[in-house]
Structure 1
Amino acid sequence: MAHAQSEPIFDAVLTPHRSLSPRGVRYLLFGMAGMLTLVGAFFAVQGAWPVLPFFGCEILLFWWAFRTNARDGRRFEHLRLTPDAMTVARVRPSGQTQEHKFAPPHWLAVELTPRPGGDNELRLASHGHSLKVGGFLTPEERDDLANALRDALRKLRSA
């Protein structure tokens, strides 16, 4: 009996958290530009006009930083557990996909290792192969993910 078309036992898409929407970034940058314009006008009136180009550079630097952050936010990891395999697909911001497969999944171990400072690291391991997952998640989210994966593996093994 082939399980290729079977329903996944566990299916999750992990994405990095972004606290500021693109609209919020625009508001923030326009607000900063407005404030720097006022400060720049004050400096220009005082005769310190050479500082004005630096204010423009600051705005460009912040724009570049938020753009880079938004681009990085397009990456994600897709974890899918079926009776045949555990598949982890990593999609980079460029769209390039890297897929890792653990088959059969019955031997898969979910390892949550504590790190200094209250952090942790989540790894999937089987047959000498280990893969770190959820690196962009918070420690609490990695803990929840580890518990959910363990529950799904328990369900798979008992079936």
Structure 2
Amino acid sequence: MTLATVESGFNGEPAVFTAELKPHRSLGPIGFRVLMGLSVAVTLINVVFFLATNALPVAMFFGLDLALLYGAFWLNYRAARAREIVRLSRNQLDIHKVTPAGFVRKSQYNPFWARFDVARHAEFGITDMAVVERARRTTLGKFLGPEERDSFAKAFTAALADIKRRV
């Protein structure tokens, strides 16, 4: 299953709560281009200097550094394609975890039996969030920051409690 089929995989009921959790990346596409442009300029200046002084190995290492910097950002932006889609309707809780490659792992829960567990640390805030039903457990929002976890936990807890109250 791919991301394109995620939306069609939900049952026909209207959603009471829907959230798409995405990893945050502080450096946008323009900032990335500026950073890489400056890195390429500095690298080229150093490579030309070291080639002129017959220090070929040093020049090659500058090129290797630039390639490693680009590779690290490529991996970082690839990891940012991960998503978690949480959809709560009156009779079903669907969680779709989309990997950076686009593959989807789907978990379904009965909202009346599902429990939302939140682990808190006094200094760091929420450290773990998971939907639990009997022996099954699906962890949510591992890549979120503390404020985002807190915001999601409040909203999702309220929506789940609202569903259970409407019985």
Instruction: Say whether 1:127 aligns with 2:155.
Output: no
**Superposed displacement of residue 41, structure 1:** 3.5
**Equivalent position of 1:94 in the other structure:** 101
**Which residue among 75, 91, 95 is the counterpart of 1:68?**
75
**Equivalent position of 1:25 in the other structure:** 32
Q: What number of residue pairs does the alignment pair up?
A: 155
Q: Deviations over 1:111-150 (max 9, x none)?
A: 1112586151111111222111000001221111111111
Q: Is the 1:125–1:131 Cα contact (8 Å) retained in structure 2?
A: yes
**Which residue among 132, 147, 150 is the counterpart of 2:154?**
147
Instruction: Say whether 1:8 aligns with 2:15.
Output: yes
| Amino acid aligned to 1:84 | N
**Which residue among 138, 143, 157 is the counterpart of 1:136?**
143
Partners of 1:112 and 1:139 lie apart in 2 by 12
- Secondary structure at the residue paired with 1:95? coil
**Equivalent position of 2:8 in the other structure:** none
Partners of 1:69 and 1:37 lie apart in 2 by 24
**Equivalent position of 2:55 in the other structure:** 48
Instruction: Say whether 1:106 aligns with 2:137.
Output: no
Partners of 1:23 and 1:68 lie apart in 2 by 17
Task: Name stretches of at least 5 consecutive residues in structure 2 with no aligned partner.
Answer: 1-10
**Superposed displacement of residue 50, structure 1:** 2.6
- Secondary structure at the residue paired with 2:13? coil
Q: Is the 2:46–2:59 Cα contact (8 Å) retained in structure 1?
A: no
Instruction: Say whether 1:157 aligns with 2:155.
Output: no
Q: Deviations over 1:23-50 (max 9, x none)?
A: 3222211101111222333444455343
TM-score of the two chains, using structure 1 as the length reference: 0.88
Partners of 1:116 and 1:57 lie apart in 2 by 43
Partners of 2:123 and 2:78 lie apart in 1 by 28
Q: Which runs of 4+ in 1 moved over 6 A?
A: none
Partners of 2:45 and 2:165 lie apart in 1 by 67
Q: Is the 1:115–1:121 Cα contact (8 Å) retained in structure 2?
A: no
Partners of 2:134 and 2:90 lie apart in 1 by 17
**Equivalent position of 1:77 in the other structure:** 84
